[in-house]
Chain A
């Protein structure tokens, strides 16, 4: 843990109004819009799973400062889940039916990554394993959070301000709490090989889910029906990343390599200053302070 500046994490009571959201929130960029829209389908259930796993892990924590961090983390993740849920509900209202994909995601987080019928010591080891998987995912979300805070191309492209604020508020909180899952894993286990193994498991699963999500959104988008855009292709991703509208493959490769460093700690990746500065201007976070 970086003792020099331990941020007291807290959930922010944000709210977003989607009534004025255009179908593609990056104008003229349906693929790039949907690439990040996947978050609205994946995260509500995914982050509720984080909350369940971390709530279950809290009784194992024997460090009051870490327990405080975990509680702050849980509240922030719960707000991410409900905020992306709102965006998902809006997508469904506009005629883009996400239910087939969301049902699969819910089944995965509820059944495959749930209790798996284990009890006693086995249940506890599976709990620690899921903490390790979440720590690896949190490394990636912190990298993505930093990316979206810095992604000036989104502003230049005239992106919808409310969606940009949702993603940047979320990204800033991911950067703000980026050490918590790693610190929890280190407290409960911390073995190097297990940390690496967790990234090797969760990284490919995340990529697979993401690709399936983009494909689903493009295929079911009523605006894209009958056009070439209804098929998501790898080259669309590469084009979006070249234009700065998506995190590029090099960024993700570098993120993976940095996790392999035995001295890896999240505090060395990403900028708390950038997160703190964004949260001080974010319309949603500022409004939450007044509630």
Chain B
């Protein structure tokens, strides 16, 4: 669909209104070309944030809590030693010393502008979490963000549902709700009492509003209708935890009520086979078993447009010239670069024209 050829049959007979629009557009184009001589080119903006690991705590056996403070280079008058502001639910990309990038929710207090706090559970076999657990105070890290995929919006009352380490984005929300005097309740579930970080401090805010519910004391994880029992009218539910927990709450949630859950990036590719994607009149690029044609082609063409990465929005659907694809929601003759994979060893696709170098000023 995009950014394919523009629609509109050039043979259409324009109405009077359209001829007027054409006149105005022609004038706008002429003004744009004239005024463009004085346009300053876009300036590069670097939004990466250099931080140092400050304090390291271990609230549970397999959870590490890190305080990140601005690196000295940042402590210049411009930033005043402050980190970019954020609101509850926000996360940052952490670029680890190995170059791995992981996303972690900010679980501290947004009012404290000089420190970010993250809490990370060690995942068995997880290289990223193992690296975070090995970080020592004084280590330099680079952050990108913060950005918010779990925005916290005002409501008369809140039900917070946290599963295990899913408490991290919820904790600042609980403190914000408590600070505004809203009616709120928090249920924190998880394996056992000793594996539930952060919620003891939240229970200190209002002990009667916090339920800590370890599975081992109740014979398993709670059913969703138990979690949602007694939901007050107009309450907003904020849920973060393992995907099965979020899915169960989503199914049990009555229509017309507010359910907020964090959206995760698309799941990793399993059972994929490597293949080759060839650009018509261009190079052929190998696609690894756990990668997508989109990522492989972006290494070559960083400007390639895409958006949802799940195949539905159509932004990266391009003409498929040869070969067949599987798992491909794009229409006939097209392929969704973000999810489609070759049925055989190779596909040939047509890409929109690359902007030539003289098109890019500045």
Contact = CB atoms under 8 A, between A and B. Distances in A.
A and B: partners? Answer: yes
Interface of A: 3-8, 10-11, 13, 45, 48-49, 51-52, 55-56, 58-66, 68, 71-72, 74-76, 78-79, 82, 103-104, 106-116, 118, 120-126, 128-129, 133, 187-189, 191, 194, 197, 201, 204-205, 208-209, 212, 272-274, 276-277, 280-281, 283, 286, 289-290
A106 B14 CA distance: 11
A210 B361 CA distance: 37
B39 to A, nearest CB: 5
Interface in B50-73: none
A104 B42 contact: no
A124 B155 contact: no
A52 B6 contact: yes
B36 A125 contact: yes
Residue from B26, B263, B359 having most chain A Cβ neighbours under 10 A:
B359
Contact of B18 (A56, A107, A122, A188): A107
Contact of A201 (B24, B43, B149, B251): B24
B308 A13 contact: yes
B314 interface: yes
B310 A13 contact: yes
Contacts, number: 235
19 contacts: A5-B151, A10-B263, A51-B1, A64-B47, A74-B313, A82-B314, A104-B18, A109-B6, A110-B8, A116-B26, A125-B35, A128-B32, A128-B39, A187-B45, A212-B15, A281-B256, A281-B259, A289-B261, A290-B247
B217 interface: no
A71 B14 CA distance: 33
A10 B149 contact: yes
B6 A280 contact: no
Given A74-B315, A201-B28, 4 more contacts: A75-B308, A110-B10, A273-B153, A281-B259
Contacts of B104: none
A6 B87 CA distance: 9
Contact of A115 (B6, B12, B86): B6
A-B CB proximity, top 9 nearest: A110-B8, A75-B307, A125-B36, A129-B32, A63-B45, A55-B305, A273-B153, A8-B149, A75-B313
A49 B1 CA distance: 11
Contacts of B85: 3-4
Contact of A208 (B7, B20, B255, B361): B20
B20 A133 contact: no
Contacts of B15: 104, 212
B357 to A, nearest CB: 11
Contacts of A75: 307-308, 313, 315
Determine the interface band of chain B, counting residues with CB < 8 A from chain A.
35 or more
A59 B9 contact: no
What's the dominant secondary structure at chain A's contact region? Answer: helix
Given A5-B87, A112-B22, A290-B247, A78 B8 contact: no
Nearest to B146: A6
A95 B151 CA distance: 43
Nearest to B361: A124
B176 to A, nearest CB: 12
A59 B86 contact: no
Interface in B70-98: 84-87, 90
Contacts of B274: none
A250 to B, nearest CB: 26
Nearest to A73: B307
Contacts of A128: 32, 36, 39
A276 B260 contact: yes
Contacts of A10: 149, 263, 308
A185 to B, nearest CB: 11
Contact of A52 (B2, B20, B147, B151): B2
Given A8-B148, A107-B12, A205-B24, A78 B258 contact: no
Given A13-B312, A281-B256, A59 B303 contact: yes
B315 A280 contact: no
Nearest to B40: A189
Contact of B313 (A11, A58, A201): A11
B206 interface: no
A187 B42 contact: yes
B122 to A, nearest CB: 26
B312 A11 contact: yes
Residue from B24, B31, B42, B261 having most chain A Cβ neighbours under 10 A:
B42
Contact of B307 (A78, A111, A120): A78
